[in-house]
Structure 1
Amino acid sequence: MSGLLRRLALISALAGCACACLVALLTVASIAGRSLWSRPIPGDVELSQFGIALCIALCLPWCQLQRANIIVDFFTQKMAPRPRGLLDAVGALLLALMVGLLAWRTMVGALSVREAGEATMILDLPMWISYAALGPGLALTALIALAQVLPHLRGEPAA
C-alpha cells in the first residue's frame, strides 16, 4: 500500500476522531446547558448530525486500509487462499466503485444544494458545506479499496 495513502488515511482518521470528540463535547455542553440553565446550545442537533456524518466519512479510509470493515467470511474462511483472494479482490473492486460513486454524487449534490442556496433551519448554515465535506473521505476510501485489488489477486496482504 502506498505510504501516501496510508498517511492520508491516518490523518483522515485522526480528523474523524477529533470530530467525534467535538460532537461529544457539544452534546455534553448542550445537555448541561439544558439541565442547569434551561438553555441548550442552539442548533446542537444540526451540528451533531453533520459532525457524526463527517466523522464516519473521515474514518472510512482507515477502516478500509486496516480491513476492519465487516466481512462475512462464514463461507470463505475455509477456502484456499487463491479463490479467497479472488473474492476479496472482487469485493474491494465493488467497494471502490460504490464508494467512488458515492463520492462523485455527494460532490454533485453539494453543487446542486449550493446553487439552490439551501441552509440549515436553526443556524442558517449553508448545507452544501456539509455535503462537500463528506467527499474527500469517500474518495480516499475508494482509492484505498482500488489499491487493494491487485494485492488481493496476488495473494499478498492488502493492508
Structure 2
Amino acid sequence: MSWLRRLALWSALAGCGAACAVALLTVVSIVGRQAGRPIPGDVELSQFGIALCIALCLPWCQLQRANIIVDFFTQKAPARLNRGLDAFGALLLALMVGLLAWRAGVGALAVREAGETTMILGLPQWLSYATLAPGLALSAVVALAQACGWEPEA
C-alpha cells in the first residue's frame, strides 16, 4: 500500500501549499492595509484556505500516528492490549472522518442548490465544503487501513 502513503504525502504537500498561500495572502493584505489598499475578502479566503490545509494534512498526520494519544491508563499495559486499543481508536477515527467526508459532500450539494455565496467576494460557498471531502475521505481510508493492521513502510 505504498500508493496510500504517497497519496497522503501529496495531500499533505498540497495542504502545506494552501497554508503558504494563506500566509502570503495575509502578508500582502496587511501591507496593503498600511498603503490603503487591503485585499477584499482576505478573511474569507484565509478561512477557506486554512480549513483546506487542515483537511489535506489530516491523512499524513494519521499515517504518522501524530494525533494526540492519552495513554495515562495504558502506559503499563501489555503491548498487545495497546495495539488493540490503537486499532480500535483508528477504526473510530475512520468512522468519524468518513462521516464528516460524507456530510461535507452532502452539504456541498445542498449549499450549491441553494446558491449561497460568500458575503464579500460572492464566491460559491459550496466550494469550501466540497474541497474538505477528499482530505477527510483519505484520512478515513488511512485510519481504516491502520485499524486492519497496515503499517506504512518508512
Short-chain TM bin? over 0.9
Aligned residues: 152
Describe the superposition over 1:35-74 as per-residue Cα deviations: whole angstroms up to 9, x where unpaired.
1x11210000000000000000000000000000111111
Residue type of the partner of 2:51?
A
Which residue matches 1:138? 136
Q: Following superposition, which runs of at least 4 residues in structure 1 exceed 2 angstroms of deviation?
A: none
**In 2, distance between residues paired with 1:65 and 1:77?**
22
TM-score (norm 2): 0.96
Partner Cα separation in structure 1 for residue 82 and residue 64 of structure 2: 18
Query: How far apart are 1:112 and its partner, in Å?
Result: 0.1
* Matching of residues 115-154 of structure 1 within 5 Å: 115-151=113-149
User: Paired residue for 2:151?
Assistant: 158
Q: In the aligned structure 2, how far is the partner of 1:150 from the partner of 1:97? A: 13
Match of 2:64 in 1: 66
SS in 1 for 2:131: helix
1:91, 1:146 → 2: CA distance? 10
Instruction: Give distance in 2, aligned partners of 1:79 and 1:12.
Output: 35
Aligned to 1:53: 51
Residue of structure 2 equivalent to 1:18: 17
| Whole-Å separation in 2 of the counterparts to 1:77 and 1:29 | 48
Give identity over the alignment, percent: 75
The one of 55, 59, 79 equivalent to 1:81 is: 79
Once residues 58 and 95 of structure 2 are traced to their aligned partners in structure 1, the CA distance between those partners, rounded to angstroms, is 15
Q: Kindly state the Cα deviation for residue 158 of structure 1 after the two structures are TM-superposed.
A: 3.1
Gaps (5+ residues) in structure 2?
Answer: none
Structure 2: distance between partners of 1:59 and 1:149: 19
Q: How does 1:1-16 map to 2 (within 5 A)?
A: 2-16=1-15
- TM-score under structure 1 length normalisation: 0.93
